[in-house]
Structure 1
């Protein structure tokens, strides 16, 4: 890197001049490339391992598989600590961005007085000009998101590095409780048809060649348009298939824990169809008798940026509409889920105000808007208040102002969805378990 390594010297701070001297769960400052620019960032060391020679490709079912473009790479490979590599979590970042780094990306131990460690130990608080400049850079990168990370219970370590699924090799984001003989595996092979899994490439190839006869998911086809199909699968009727589906989804969902108790859930699988069958691209689950119209949602990384997640959100609200209750998703959101929903709500609400019936209406109550668009009123308030289109009247009434008539408000309209659900193609009617239970 050409940068001198420095060590913390304040009284009470532990000194380390090499990454190998850092202990697990200690915080460090390291180099990282952010938007094409090398930056100093705060990180927590999670584990170490001996560096293994990286193969450029491997064979699956007789075909050469190349790593995806987003495969983890070391940003530097100079001489220091070349025999080891280090798995770190970057402060303020989602855990799917955790990665292995090389030892010469180490700069220093995280200073106790750093902006991301307020109130840290005594010591001399006088900062040199260089240290103050460096700390200012860390503030910009951390943005407050990493405060307190070191006090949280550490999540389970990611146990699978790559999953081979259909024609793709996908880097996994999170831990998933697959029942494997080994604690951790480099690659897991999952049949995209029946979702059986193994870490043995030969068993996987044999299964594909001889054993698996399924070409489509189990359940009922409820939606078809072009090359997109959506299947409804009941956990109570396809228990083992749905358990395996949840295990696969958990590799890319951080906060959800459902993997084995699937009997009270319904799963909706979005597939791309071709001459070889239906290929799972995205899914969401919904709990029966729940006021939430969606429990968790996942789009496989290799199928992202195709509008599938938004299409499934549209489907969940169309189902709520037919079941005659305002829908809302289960919390907590992932970072990507929160972005997707806020864009969806804002787009639907602004599109509603564009309709002919609303163009000259000045205000509408949140309760009326909930009934008209099918979005839960709390979600409407959370969407419209930050952009200045919500007012609270005496008596507890909330009203939403028509953005068309509010000349002072410049609302940035989200892009229209890449795919729109055609309700005429949805062959589905609400059952009693699709509605929330009535309170006595």
Structure 2
């Protein structure tokens, strides 16, 4: 119920409006001119159309809205296309352009829901959506959980719209990303970090359901706010964990982005040198090493050659154990974050039946 002061103020405004008769002279003048007149500052002449109270209230709201819009757009360049993506509490500057439909590809600042990934062109629309959105984690099955870190398997055929929105978001940060709408042949593994509000998307990788070239990753991305924190390595480690469970040997689909290539080379180097530190005996077979780590032989050989750990001597390839390199890797491995196979709740999808 309104208070006594509020009720008195309401009656006062109502009385002011009831006494207002309008400006007959202004209405006749506009009717004769056939249009609306404007003042020197190009504002329509509003005197005489509403009570002074309503007119003052409108102009105050108009001024506050103009100040707010100016503050929101003050740090945005005037170039065409999206410059920033607002997702949850983060505002990320985009690296490339993404073909969002309609006006979404032309607004300077795009708002994306961090749970369902629906996009909005204004802060007001995003705020209203956030109040109504019931999602708190990606769709699909949770196949991995350790502490507050989870990985969700999302089928591109069952959750087509979510996967399409995920691909469009990834295009802002991947130059070689060309797939946006044909998501049905892929599985998406979305990594999230949970708190009291919900599961926030950290990154993801996609994988073909049936890859004839044994690609275990088609596209991989860690969102900018979570980069350089070890999440990219966790995504790569998780992809190879799935490959091990499948009993296969895998490799990422090329071409990789610049950051993706750096992350993969770092992961291969640490995994190989950790295995070399624990390898018994004087001999080592690349084929056995590939089977143990689920890494393709070509990736193993290229990594060893890049680090100067493989030499061709007397008709044989020899892997060298350099003490300083092994000590460096042992120190890094102590700080590296790895996925635990015991936390995985996943089984390989059944292969499709051959045609008759």
TM-score by length of 1: 0.59
Q: Distance in 2 between matches of 1:410 and 1:225?
A: 29
Q: Structure 1: which 5+ residue stretches go unaligned? A: 1-56, 73-84, 88-157
Matches within 5 A, 1:53-68: none
In structure 2, the residue matched to 1:304 is 227
Matches within 5 A, 1:21-100: none
- Choose the corresponding residue for 1:376, options 290, 296, 312: 296
Deviation by residue 1:183-203 (Cα, 9 ceiling, x = unmatched) = 522100111111111112221
* CA shift in 2, pair 1:427/1:391, >3 Å: same
- Choose the corresponding residue for 1:415, options 308, 332, 344: 332
SS of 2:215's equivalent in the other structure is coil
Q: Distance in 2 between matches of 1:345 and 1:384?
A: 9
1:366 and 1:399 in contact (8 A); partners too? no
Cα deviation, residue 364, structure 1: 1.7
| Range moving further from structure 2, 228-237 or 410-419 | 410-419
Deviation by residue 1:237-269 (Cα, 9 ceiling, x = unmatched) = 000110001111111111121110000000011
* CA shift in 2, pair 1:349/1:378, >3 Å: same
- Choose the corresponding residue for 2:256, options 327, 333, 343: 333
In structure 1, the residue matched to 2:149 is 228
Structure with higher strand content? 1
Cα deviation, residue 380, structure 1: 0.4
In structure 1, the residue matched to 2:200 is 279
* CA shift in 2, pair 1:432/1:410, >3 Å: same
* CA shift in 2, pair 1:408/1:297, >3 Å: closer
In structure 1, the residue matched to 2:178 is 257
The reply to whether residue 196 of structure 1 matches residue 104 of structure 2 is no
1:270 and 1:283 in contact (8 A); partners too? yes
The reply to whether residue 268 of structure 1 matches residue 189 of structure 2 is yes
In structure 2, the residue matched to 1:365 is 285
2:92 and 2:224 in contact (8 A); partners too? yes
In structure 1, the residue matched to 2:345 is 427
Number of aligned residue pairs = 283
* CA shift in 2, pair 1:362/1:244, >3 Å: same
In structure 2, the residue matched to 1:314 is 237
Q: Distance in 2 between matches of 1:297 and 1:408?
A: 32
* CA shift in 2, pair 1:367/1:189, >3 Å: same
1:268 and 1:285 in contact (8 A); partners too? yes
Cα deviation, residue 410, structure 1: 8.0
In structure 2, the residue matched to 1:19 is none
Deviation by residue 1:320-357 (Cα, 9 ceiling, x = unmatched) = 111111111111111111111111001011111111xx
* CA shift in 2, pair 1:160/1:378, >3 Å: same
Matches within 5 A, 1:128-143: none
Structure with higher helix content? 2
Cα deviation, residue 415, structure 1: 2.6
In structure 1, the residue matched to 2:130 is 208
* CA shift in 2, pair 1:410/1:245, >3 Å: closer
SS of 1:284's equivalent in the other structure is strand
Q: Distance in 1 between matches of 2:192 and 2:253?
A: 23
In structure 2, the residue matched to 1:324 is 247
1:370 and 1:380 in contact (8 A); partners too? yes
Q: Distance in 2 between matches of 1:215 and 1:330?
A: 31
TM-score by length of 2: 0.72
1:161 and 1:171 in contact (8 A); partners too? yes
Deviation by residue 1:142-162 (Cα, 9 ceiling, x = unmatched) = xxxxxxxxxxxxxxxx83100
